[in-house]
A and B are shown apart, each in its own frame.
Chain A
Amino acid sequence: MTVSAQPEALQSKRPAVSQKIAKIALVGNPNSGKTSLFNQLTGLNQKVGNFPGVTVDKKTGISQLTPNLKAQIIDLPGTYSLYPKSLDERVIIDLLYDPGSKHYPDLVVVTADASNLKRNLLLFTQLADLQIPAVLALNMVDVAETHGIKIDVPALQRELGVPVIPMNARKGIGIAALKIVMSQELEAVGRLFYEIPLELVPVVQSIKERFNLTNDYLALHFAHQHKNLKFLSSDDMAWFEEALKPVGFSSNTFQANETIARYTRINELLLDVVKVEKVNKNEKFSNRLDQVLTHKVFGYLIFFGILFLIFQAIFAWASYPMELIDVGIANLNELIQENFDGPLVNMLTEGVIAGLGGVLIFVPQIAILFAFIAILEETGYMARVTFMMDKVMRKFGLNGKSVVPLISGVACAVPAVMSARTIENWKDRMITIFVTPLMSCSARIPVYTVLIALVVPEKYYFGFLNLQGLVLMGLYLIGFLAAILSALLLKTILKARERSYFIMEFPVYKMPRWKNVGLTILEKSKTFVFEAGKVIVAISIVLWVLASYGPGNNFEVAEQQAIAEANAKGLTEEQTENKIASYQLEASYAGIVGRTIEPVIKPLGYDWKLGIALLTSFAAREVFVGTISTIYSIGEEENVSTIKNKLMSEKDANGDPFFTPARSFSLMIFYLFAMQCVSTLAIVRRETKSWTWPLAQLLYMSGLAYVMSFITYHIFR
């Protein structure tokens, strides 16, 4: 293998590199094995940050190239071309347009799928023309060979003028060779693959002069992209308009011609490099599998079967670790409370640690959900699902790709909203993000189950259809209907910013790479804990303060009153304690707020106690059970059957049971529609980069919740 760097040159340049760590960018087509390569190079030394100014994840990691040389690897979003078609892809040009920046890569590694070299080389030739030192990582060479595609690597290397490393990133083959090449100081690509059209040469020249550029192709990109470049002043903008007018610059036409010219060039240079011997066997296998998996009947049946499996897993498998976390947090709190005392300790245990527990308890579900999503993505099945669902979803202003966030929303809206990133189209993506929280997430389950157990009899139809289960399913269905009908509404309101495309590569079926699945789980769980965790913990502390303190001497009065009543009734010590807690809650700031909002929620059938529960639930729905268990003075016990007994014995002003079916259904419907989740609001703000969307969601969903529970209450009353 010939590597263009000379040993002598290496010697002289080495010290400069070892002082500052080299930055190496990974670029490549989607499905070209870029993520696998990144994971192979960096392992667990990864970090997810943000590119400045955009919400695109920036994955960086440190790779040990040789025993004494490390490099920083930046994983750039997958793209087919340097001309960006989505926000994600814009990140790449933002990085590559500024050779003077400290983030500018010293080297780019271009991953290319060997069985699809032609299309993969388009991006390579564009990068090469920017004259950045480059290496071509020719991925899945062995797979291509079994399909009869033979690539003459030395010939390809000669044609391209850069080191070409055959490899298989999934299996880890060729990584060592690639690391050695990456550790060397490589020269910029010496040849150009595209000649700038003659009529543009003068313009390119003046752009180079004005912006101090050395590369012709970069100057051409400036001409194409000037409207999207944030660092340009209005003067620059006006200058561009002036400079481009005389040549009749039409970005579309010139881009199209460039792409055609590049493909022509690639076809020429591949003529002697790639030999195709027999038909693609794997494609045939994929095709046959597709006939079943995207079949009119079986396709949907299999898809719903997989969904069923995912739900089972999320609810059944996650319950053990969730219980462990729950018990662990409770034990930790108990341990602290036994050994220490004071308001700060209470704040720590009932505020911070309880809030933290509320975050951690969702980690198992998020991990399981993303394990499934990662497997479905890795195998290529997800592309089939979006393919099957696109036509239906489009009728509702959504997109085939909206299926993933909507399904994920049943577990938790936070990762679901994050997964909407794969949707390139702005309008489709906003609608998806907006309606996803209407899907009933797992935090609503405790609310549903407590209330259903209370008012729906445990009856069986045909021996196996459980009435309570049917009601629960009905609630999920209402959530889904609300989501798609809201999408339909938004479809008419929102204006499209760009056209919606469905032009995408249909990947061949593959076995999932478990390392990638594991790293996805780790990354998503970490993002959830840190991003959503901050907010939940903060709100938990505020709520704790509001529920633990009251104005003036309210608390002492409440305590004395409770003790007096308890003594009169001859209650046990524990019952007395509970009574004190419930009286104090009523006297607290939270209690006062509950009383204040009572007139507003009365039409829905709620009293001030439920008012407190509703308010605390705005931090997170699952707080509902904890709050009502405090309000109805059950103490620390969060066992559903005792909550049920307590709620059943709660009486209204007339001495009748308070939790009538009307009240309970009204509550369930309220929780179904209302946007009671600070974490979701926080993640929506982060994903949409504006407060408009989370606020609109808050108003819309809560308004809907109010109207719907009002109707429900009056139907059942």
Chain B
Amino acid sequence: MQAKVEEQNERKSVRDLKIGESGVVCCLNDPEMGLKLLEMGCIPGTEVKMNSRAPFGDPITIIVNDYTLSLRLDEAETIMLK
């Protein structure tokens, strides 16, 4: 757990992207949720772009493989960027 927190501190996740900003997926650090995200196309090496935020900042939408995916911030946090 401790290691995970440190990792998050130094590395960027989709959560940290600004609107319009892109990043490349490096890995997914939640195995269970990762399965769902992989199936939706968030494969390591894929470019994702922050598209919009809901009125209260959560959930968000991102663009993956030319389509729009909506997810919550704590889900976005598990998608680590290179």
Contact = CB atoms under 8 A, between A and B. Distances in A.
B59 A502 contact: yes
Contacts of A294: 52, 54-55
A501 B59 contact: no
B37 A503 contact: yes
B69 A503 contact: yes
A399 to B, nearest CB: 10
B23 interface: no
Interface in A361-395: 383, 387-388, 390-392
A252 interface: yes
Interface string B53-81: 01111110100011111111001000000
Interface string B37-48: 111110110000
A47 interface: no
Given A501-B33, A501-B36, A263 B56 contact: no
B77 to A, nearest CB: 13
B22 interface: no
Contacts of A400: 59
Contacts of A118: 41, 65
Contact of B70 (A83, A286, A383): A383
Nearest to B38: A259
Contacts of A276: 66
A83 B55 contact: no
A501 B75 contact: yes
Given A256-B31, A300-B55, A391-B59, A504 B66 contact: no
A388 B37 CA distance: 21
B32 interface: yes
B38 A296 contact: no
B39 A122 contact: yes
Interface string A115-130: 1101100100000000
A393 to B, nearest CB: 11
Contacts of B52: 287, 290-291, 294
A280 interface: yes
A332 to B, nearest CB: 51
A487 B71 CA distance: 23
Contact of A506 (B31, B33, B70, B72): B70
A80 B68 CA distance: 15
Contacts of A391: 54, 56-59
Contacts of B61: 387, 506
Summarize B's interface: helix, strand, loop or mixed: mixed
Contact of A299 (B32, B55, B68): B55
A283 B67 CA distance: 8
A115 B68 CA distance: 12
Contacts of B43: 259-260, 263-264
The winner among B39, B40, B58, B71 for most chain A CB atoms within 10 A is: B39
Contact of B35 (A256, A295, A390): A256
A118 B38 CA distance: 12
A506 B41 contact: no
Summarize A's interface: helix, strand, loop or mixed: helix
Interface in A251-283: 252-253, 255-256, 259-260, 263-264, 276, 280, 283
A287 B38 contact: no
A503 B33 contact: yes
Nearest to A31: B67
B24 to A, nearest CB: 15
Given A80-B40, A387-B54, A508 B65 contact: no
A473 B70 CA distance: 34
A300 B41 CA distance: 31
Contact of A503 (B31, B44, B71): B71
A63 interface: no
Contacts of B35: 83, 252, 255-256, 259
Interface in A426-477: none
Contacts of A283: 66, 68
A280 B65 CA distance: 12
B31 to A, nearest CB: 5
A382 to B, nearest CB: 12
Interface in A94-133: 115-116, 118-119, 122
B58 A390 contact: yes
Interface string B9-40: 00000000000000000001001111111111
Contacts of B33: 499, 501, 503
Contact of B72 (A81, A390, A392): A390
Nearest to A392: B56
Nearest to A82: B39
Contacts of A256: 28, 31, 34-35, 38
Nearest to B41: A119
Interface string A288-309: 0011001110011000000000
A505 B69 contact: yes
Interface string A180-202: 00000000000000000000000
A85 interface: yes
A81 B59 contact: no
Contacts of B69: 503-506
Given A119-B40, A255-B35, A502-B72, 9 more contacts: A119-B67, A259-B43, A387-B54, A390-B72, A391-B58, A499-B32, A499-B33, A504-B71, A506-B68
25 contacts: A81-B39, A119-B39, A252-B34, A253-B31, A255-B35, A256-B31, A256-B35, A259-B38, A259-B43, A260-B38, A280-B66, A286-B68, A388-B54, A388-B55, A390-B54, A400-B59, A501-B75, A502-B70, A503-B69, A503-B70, A503-B75, A504-B69, A504-B71, A506-B61, A508-B68
9 closest residue pairs by CB, A with B: A506-B68, A259-B38, A296-B55, A506-B70, A502-B72, A81-B39, A252-B31, A391-B56, A503-B71
